Structure 1
């Protein structure tokens, strides 16, 4: 964690994958205590816990970190239905998961009160999720696969023209390396490059920096998320971006 902070990164994010790491709450509270990083979930899967419990944990982390916590939330990654069955939890349809997100944010705002605001990031793709994000989120990331650049530009344009949330871009692939837990293990970097997908960046730091700048200026992304395995490789890129 200190290595990431010392490399110039602003935020440490953790996924909501039970049994693959310490639980998000304790891990993020520890990271915030040991560093001056912002911290957040990327992202809570809404059907894994009741809305009030997610909101309570998020509000608590926001207070414990002095306002350095941001709650990322979404309806769940591909395959979430099997995970829910294995845990004995009800499998609810996507529209009910969106309702859970709305209720989570509503409860979080009640807990925050008038004098506190916990930032909310939403992972979205479909039109209903995008509409909810435009209403309740501070940051939006698109749950992308191999969608071409032109399609992502169209999605981003909706939020840019409405003066809506900040746009975040998760990049799970750098060169031919796929970050664990950020994309399916069978993700094909060659196919992503052929599709001109935005989920991949060049392995060369100089080329990656140029492409990040392009995505900033042409599409409006201002928040970029990379896997921890790329932290050292991209440290020079982060340092240059911080000076711009």
Structure 2
């Protein structure tokens, strides 16, 4: 089993000073990675992440995730390699096909919103361009994957795989998807990442609107989108998820950066 590491997802929407404070705090609390989402209503992740890396020394930074409809494959690779260079290897490139809402944003940029296969092809081409640009360097690539075609692409080319599902996706469903990924890696060693939307038993309204479930529903369905209880309880549950499903890279929403920190201190590197 891989050792635990932890990431936190936040956005630089409140300005540079606040963003730099978040980066410093994430590093102080022992998080491995500060991750930034991607859409036209926020600062571009690569610029934000370069700024975060500039005020930290150990913290890794990553996109969660660059949406393929918002850039050509070559442009995405250019941005990624640039951040790898400027951060001296602390950047992790997260890629995804984008939500349906990205159609309008792509059109605003003058780009075509391709079909599902086209968006996957763009991701594959982005990875190829990054590998060429990196030379002797290596930008770790994380793919957020939902369907079987995306899982096969991740198995073939990704360093980190974040299996995506709805808030009520069951453990058995995740296990089946992960087995599909592992069986297709042909022996390649991949890290499995899990995105936790809710820490504790209170779901902020904006998160509830995004995942479409309240706390009672998440608890009733034993949702992997939530983790709650004491620090001991959460540590035991994460160890269970690693043992049963292989998740060792745990990503939480920035709203819970302080609340989740004792778990980070307990499990990081173990």
TM-score by length of 1: 0.91
- Give runs of aligned pairs for residues 91-130 of structure 1, distance below 5 A: 91-113=113-135, 115-130=136-151
- Give runs of aligned pairs for residues 157-196 of structure 1, distance below 5 A: 157-161=179-183, 162=185, 163-164=187-188, 165-174=190-199, 175-178=201-204, 184=210, 186-196=212-222
Conserved? CA contact 2:145–2:161, under 8 Å: yes
Conserved? CA contact 1:178–1:185, under 8 Å: no
Moved more, 154-163 or 64-73: 154-163
The one of 161, 172, 176 aligned to 1:154: 176
Identify the structure with bigger relative contact order (alpha carbons < 8 Å, sequence gap 6+).
2
Q: Give the Cα separation in 1 of the matches to 2:262 and 2:113.
A: 44
Report deviation, 1:186: 3.6
| 1:4-57 Cα distance to aligned partner (Å, 9 max, x none) | 11001111000002223x221221111111112000000000011111110001
Q: Give the Cα separation in 2 of the matches to 1:149 and 1:43.
A: 23
Aligned residue pairs total 242
Q: Give the Cα separation in 1 of the matches to 2:105 and 2:214.
A: 24
Conserved? CA contact 1:144–1:199, under 8 Å: no
| 1:96-141 Cα distance to aligned partner (Å, 9 max, x none) | 000100111111111112x111110000011100011111100000
**Does residue 224 in structure 1 map to residue 250 in structure 2?**
yes
- Which runs of 5 or more structure 1 residues have no equivalent in the other structure? none
- Which runs of 5 or more structure 2 residues have no equivalent in the other structure? 1-22
User: Which residue in the other structure is 1:136 paired with?
Assistant: 157
User: Which residue in the other structure is 1:239 paired with?
Assistant: 265
The one of 21, 24, 27 aligned to 2:48: 27
Moved more, 175-184 or 78-87: 175-184
